[in-house]
Structure 1
Amino acid sequence: MLTEIDNGGPSTRAARVVSNRPRAAGANGGPVAGQREDYLGHDREQITRILIQALNELGYHAAAESVAEESGFQVESPDVVAFRHAVLGGDWVKAEQLLSRDSGRRPGQGSGDGLVLAPGADRNAMRFQIRQQKFLELLERRETSQALTVLRNELSPLCSDQHQTLHLLSRFLMCQDAEDLRSRANWDGADGRSRQLLLERLSESISPEVMLPDHRLAALLHDVKRSQVDRCLYHTTEEPPSLYTDHSCDRSRFPSEVLVELCSPRIEASKRPEEIWQVCFSPDGRRLASCGTDEAVSVWDVEHLTLLHELRGHPGGIGSVAWSPDSKLLVSCGKNHVAKVWHVDTGECVSTLSGFEEPISSCVWPADGRTFVLGSFDKKQSLCLWNMAEECVYSFAKTHRTEDVALSPDQRWLVAMDERCNLHVYNFGTRELVYDLALNSRATCVSISRDSKYMLVNKSDNEALLIDIETRETVQRYTGQTGGQFTIRSGFGGANENFVISGSEDGRVFIWHKMKGILVHEAEAHHPSCNTVSWNPCDPCMFATAGDDGRIKM
């Protein structure tokens, strides 16, 4: 409920142009004499209002006033301006009065005065959001009795059938202080961006004919650039496309040549190759960790292509590794029922988590860098949140074997994969199970895109799926690789994460265009199986593969 609110400092806003002067052409505004009704097939009023808004946001206020004067169009109605000021100023009574006022107009009847809601908008849901902000601000000011009154008399009637939501809000009454409240609610307070974010959410329910979404021109231009990138089959640059020309990347720049092969000198000297089950670049792209049947995690320096550490401590092998957000710590998940936290600079083990009855399969780090989620085959501890003091902070309710786990970068979604063809999707902020998703075959790994919108699921039936987490719909399918009963890893990568990459039991590596599903690269990689892949998050032209031959290719 509150997890989508990101933290940040106070925001400043450009002045809004609202033309209250007589219109240049008629009561509803519109083009002056001699002007065309449209602009190259686009609605003149829409274009003009967006232009006025953008000029203000760019700081060209005089130009915006001039365009408003000449066109006769207003960006926002007086009631919308008053509503905006009420929300940003914390005048909740005024905000609700304006919300309750029915202008008598409906979307499509032209701009003018009144707070016209978008089709399907729920006025009570908007009231709830306003009252929730009011409740939190009262708690922040330590006005607990008034906050309790708001909870009982104002919020409860609006969500009588949403007991979990009310329960979560009531827990905030027990916060020790304002800082504790902001941390638990994932909310940055009245002096942060919370009111601005509230206004942005409320604006989604107000017709754009009377209230333009913030930064509308920038959003449209972003979509244009995104479309240009999505059409580029071999996109290899992080630089945003120019608005002046159409964008395309040369295929010759696509990473297709092996730069180096890496192997631990100790393992190479033994002449007994150890299978590698996972490779993983650090978030800063400077290091690469690998693990598998060997008892040690190998940590490589990416720039110098040298072995930094062999972190030993897991007889029987290591199923997976996970980097902390700052790239300083590494969790290793052992087949010996133990997880270890390592300081990568020193190679020192700083924490050991034991007490599991089955192997630990997977790990992810939340953005705070102070806790991490472990997935395990142990049904009693299948999905738990731990801290650096080796304490279990929270155990999720499901009692399945967890074979892999993924956490969205926006901290909203936690996805656990079990052994029975199911995905379990949680709201990580509230710890609530949102839904279970049944697959038609066993999954071998799961990952989430950088924009937190999609999850990528590799399956044992020679198919990978791109699934929209919110809608649960399959957006794209990727085929060509071979699966089986063993773990074959896949992931996102490249500039703007335009690609999906996967290993294969036949030893090849496959790369598809993420949204088009077109196979753009295929190559022999390892023998007999290519088990794992990882794309450098800081270099769109570098990825690593590893397999049963015990070698890493970059």
Structure 2
Amino acid sequence: MRPDGVSSANGPSYASNGSIASPSHKMGLGHALNGQASYNSSNGDLHTNGFQKSSVSPPSYFGHDREEVTRILIQSLYELGYNGAASLLSKESGYQLESPAVATFRGAVLGGRWAEAERILMQSFYPDGSRRAPNSHSGHTPTKERLVLVEHAELNEMLFYLRQQKFLELLEARNLSGALTVLRHELTPLNFDIGRLHALSSLLMCPPEHLHDQAGWDGSINSSRERLLSELSKSISPSVMIPDNRLAVLLDHVKRNQINQCLYHNTATPPSLYSDHMCDREDFPLRIGIELSQHSDEVWYCQFSHDGTKLVTAGRDRGVIIYDTNTFAVLHKLMDHEEGVAHASWSPDDTKLITCSQDKKARVWNVETGRCLLTIKDQRQPVTAAAWAADGESFVTATLDIGSQLSHWSIHGDALYMWQGGFRVQDCAITPDGRRLIAADVEEKIHVYNFITHEEEYCLALKSKPTSVAVSSDSRHMLVNLSQGEIQLIDIDTTDIIRRFEGQKQGSFVIRSTFGGAAENFVISGSEDSRIYVWHKENGTLIETLEGHISGCVNAISWNPTNPGMFASAGDDCLVRM
């Protein structure tokens, strides 16, 4: 990731007082404690792995490299603010956190000494002082002045990032002539990332108050230089410059692995590091707690509100029922539709509700009063689904009408846009970040649109008809039910199928699945065999098959977003079960 205002995965390190600092500022790292490992002639690679106390390799630490463990601990102690302990550990172990060259380079970048930073880069790429790759016969710059680079490191890329930071800082200081000089004589000759170069040149005319937004740069000297250093560190060998927050990243991996191995992990609280983690199956929602019988015919849909305080159900009896989830008392029974209601969608703030019916109409309701605010009509086929824009000021309806399969409406009923394409839509969803509209085409396809520009990004062919689509809360993945009895977890950006879930019975009817659990750790689906199927999302294991309803299909499932111990199912037996 580039350093132009976008956080690196490494992240900054922090001193105990909360200010950003680096280990090179906390102790003298400019000199090796007991000698420095030698470098080879090609790229400055270490013959040994860092800076050691003696030439005799110490025993490993329970199978782990002792030097790596120690240096990561030193870094972590600094990040925790225990500077004295870090210094003492470095002295006692004989291991340095960073090589002298890295310490100098870090200080140059964070101090804005751009000429010095560039000199170190040039010496690291061209130790003999020429613009040629080094050879075994050339004289070399002393290793203490050179960085150890990774194999894919590119000089022009690293120089571009340095000079971009210099350019942006000059712009912020309103030194336009200096910024223009950097752009023309330092950035342009690199011939790197021409698109970004053009974007930088446009900033010369940018009003000062809009600079940060248009540049994607927060303007804070300390934090932006820290991000720059984190980006540059990707080209420097971790054997001499450990990625920031390395211990925290490793601990995150440990916790994630424990969660992935725990089939019933259903809490937002991360596992403790003190002991191995395993959730008790008895704490998982496996038993029917409440049975709702207000519907007189098949129940086709159910969904909790975003705050978890309400549940809406809808079905073949034309009724839409809103319940209070604390008492499950009926708040409203909406009977304005003339035929069965197949879908309902809560607005982002839960104050409004859209219902979609086979009567070829969609209605928008005031949740507090139960009053119908708007009716979308004049559709020639059933309205199958609806989705709210992220701001709650507009929504999209989907129909089986080839001429108006996807329509974007304002909250006042004004038609904002009609997508063309000549296909019928069974279900649709807008990603929580508001960027994309996803439509399930009955002709075995998924269409993904840029919701802002309305352009189709791609059309994904499937092996059978999709009956529902759900999007993860982080907008990264979609969950697609296929009529042949398979659920696919798909990466929205890459279209890669991440995982397949099988076991549920499906073939003739619309069956819906969704994400569930405290951190969306599960995939849950209805089935045509009256059962409910629950899979672990990360490993694909079918962990439970529950006897869901008396007979017929379990058509839809909704997991309470604020109470991981509760989900609802809607069935052909006229019941909603909790």
Q: The TM-score by the shorter chain falls in which range?
A: 0.7 to 0.9
After TM superposition, list the pairs within 5 Å mapping 1:387-426 onto structure 2. 387-388=410-411, 390=413, 400-409=423-432, 414-426=437-449
Evaluate the alpha carbon distance shift between residue 31 and residue 390 of structure 1 in structure 2; reply closer, same or farther with a 3 A threshold.
Answer: farther
Contact residue 379 and residue 401 of structure 1 kept, 8 A = yes
Q: 1:217 aligns with which of 221, 234, 247?
A: 247
Evaluate the alpha carbon distance shift between residue 361 and residue 75 of structure 1 in structure 2; reply closer, same or farther with a 3 A threshold.
Answer: farther
Contact residue 32 and residue 71 of structure 1 kept, 8 A = no
CA–CA separation in structure 1 for the residues paired with 2:370 and 2:498: 42
CA–CA separation in structure 2 for the residues paired with 1:69 and 1:334: 73
User: 3-state DSSP class of the match of 1:289?
Assistant: strand
Q: Which amino acid aligns with 2:219?
A: A
User: 3-state DSSP class of the match of 2:447?
Assistant: strand
Contact residue 304 and residue 310 of structure 2 kept, 8 A = yes
Match of 2:78 in 1: 56
Evaluate the alpha carbon distance shift between residue 145 and residue 251 of structure 1 in structure 2; reply closer, same or farther with a 3 A threshold.
Answer: same
CA–CA separation in structure 1 for the residues paired with 2:356 and 2:200: 35
Evaluate the alpha carbon distance shift between residue 70 and residue 393 of structure 1 in structure 2; reply closer, same or farther with a 3 A threshold.
Answer: farther
Match of 2:36 in 1: 27
Q: 2:565 aligns with which of 533, 541, 550?
A: 541
Moved more, 508-517 or 431-440: 431-440
Q: 1:281 aligns with which of 282, 287, 304?
A: 304
Shift in Å, 1:489: 0.6
Evaluate the alpha carbon distance shift between residue 361 and residue 65 of structure 1 in structure 2; reply closer, same or farther with a 3 A threshold.
Answer: farther
Match of 2:506 in 1: 483
CA–CA separation in structure 1 for the residues paired with 2:102 and 2:361: 58
Matched, 1:519 2:531: no
User: 3-state DSSP class of the match of 1:362?
Assistant: strand
Evaluate the alpha carbon distance shift between residue 43 and residue 468 of structure 1 in structure 2; reply closer, same or farther with a 3 A threshold.
Answer: farther
User: 3-state DSSP class of the match of 1:546?
Assistant: strand
Shift in Å, 1:236: 3.2
Contact residue 121 and residue 206 of structure 1 kept, 8 A = yes
Shift in Å, 1:263: 3.1
Match of 1:551 in 2: 575
Q: Which amino acid aligns with 2:571?
A: G
Contact residue 429 and residue 471 of structure 2 kept, 8 A = yes
Contact residue 335 and residue 359 of structure 1 kept, 8 A = yes
User: 3-state DSSP class of the match of 2:425?
Assistant: coil
Normalised by the size of structure 1, how large is the TM-score? 0.78
Which runs of 5 or more structure 1 residues have no equivalent in the other structure? Answer: none
* CA offset digits 1:497-533 (Å, max 9, x no partner): 2221110112211112223322222123233111001
Match of 2:45 in 1: none
Shift in Å, 1:81: 5.8
Match of 1:305 in 2: 328
Contact residue 322 and residue 365 of structure 1 kept, 8 A = yes
Q: Which amino acid aligns with 2:553?
A: S
Moved more, 136-145 or 455-464: 136-145
Match of 1:504 in 2: 527
Contact residue 141 and residue 178 of structure 1 kept, 8 A = no
Evaluate the alpha carbon distance shift between residue 169 and residue 16 of structure 1 in structure 2; reply closer, same or farther with a 3 A threshold.
Answer: closer
Shift in Å, 1:413: 5.7
CA–CA separation in structure 2 for the residues paired with 1:217 and 1:342: 51
Q: 2:316 aligns with which of 293, 300, 318?
A: 293
Match of 2:279 in 1: 249
Normalised by the size of structure 2, how large is the TM-score? 0.75
Q: Which amino acid aligns with 1:257?
A: R
Match of 1:190 in 2: 219
Shift in Å, 1:391: 5.3
User: 3-state DSSP class of the match of 2:251?
Assistant: helix
Matched, 1:456 2:485: no
After TM superposition, list the pairs within 5 Å mapping 1:75-474 onto structure 2. 75-76=97-98, 102-103=124-125, 114=146, 118-120=150-152, 158-159=192-193, 178=209, 182=213, 187=216, 189-191=218-220, 200=230, 203-264=233-294, 267=295, 272-273=296-297, 275-350=298-373, 358-365=381-388, 367-378=390-401, 382-383=405-406, 387-388=410-411, 390=413, 400-409=423-432, 414-426=437-449, 433-474=456-497
Provide the aligned C-alpha RMSD in A: 4.6
Evaluate the alpha carbon distance shift between residue 459 and residue 80 of structure 1 in structure 2; reply closer, same or farther with a 3 A threshold.
Answer: farther
Evaluate the alpha carbon distance shift between residue 168 and residue 286 of structure 1 in structure 2; reply closer, same or farther with a 3 A threshold.
Answer: farther
Percent identity over paired residues: 45
Match of 1:42 in 2: 64
Evaluate the alpha carbon distance shift between residue 22 and residue 330 of structure 1 in structure 2; reply closer, same or farther with a 3 A threshold.
Answer: same
Q: Larger Cα Rg: Structure 1 or Structure 2?
A: 2
Contact residue 121 and residue 146 of structure 2 kept, 8 A = no
CA–CA separation in structure 2 for the residues paired with 1:213 and 1:380: 54
CA–CA separation in structure 2 for the residues paired with 1:131 and 1:352: 57
CA–CA separation in structure 2 for the residues paired with 1:324 and 1:159: 41
Evaluate the alpha carbon distance shift between residue 33 and residue 512 of structure 1 in structure 2; reply closer, same or farther with a 3 A threshold.
Answer: same
Moved more, 350-359 or 25-34: 350-359
CA–CA separation in structure 1 for the residues paired with 2:174 and 2:381: 46
CA–CA separation in structure 2 for the residues paired with 1:501 and 1:27: 56
CA–CA separation in structure 1 for the residues paired with 2:481 and 2:159: 42
Q: 1:67 aligns with which of 82, 89, 92?
A: 89
CA–CA separation in structure 1 for the residues paired with 2:5 and 2:382: 33
Evaluate the alpha carbon distance shift between residue 515 and residue 98 of structure 1 in structure 2; reply closer, same or farther with a 3 A threshold.
Answer: same
Shift in Å, 1:546: 0.2
* CA offset digits 1:425-446 (Å, max 9, x no partner): 4566777655433221112112
Moved more, 141-150 or 277-286: 141-150
* CA offset digits 1:54-95 (Å, max 9, x no partner): 112212122222223334444345665676677778888887
Q: Which amino acid aligns with 1:514?
A: K
CA–CA separation in structure 2 for the residues paired with 1:430 and 1:90: 40
Moved more, 87-96 or 529-538: 87-96
Shift in Å, 1:492: 1.6
CA–CA separation in structure 2 for the residues paired with 1:379 and 1:198: 50
Evaluate the alpha carbon distance shift between residue 176 and residue 420 of structure 1 in structure 2; reply closer, same or farther with a 3 A threshold.
Answer: farther
Aligned residues: 536
* CA offset digits 1:195-238 (Å, max 9, x no partner): 76666555545543344333221111111111111111222333
Which runs of 5 or more structure 2 residues have no equivalent in the other structure? Answer: 38-50, 128-132, 134-142
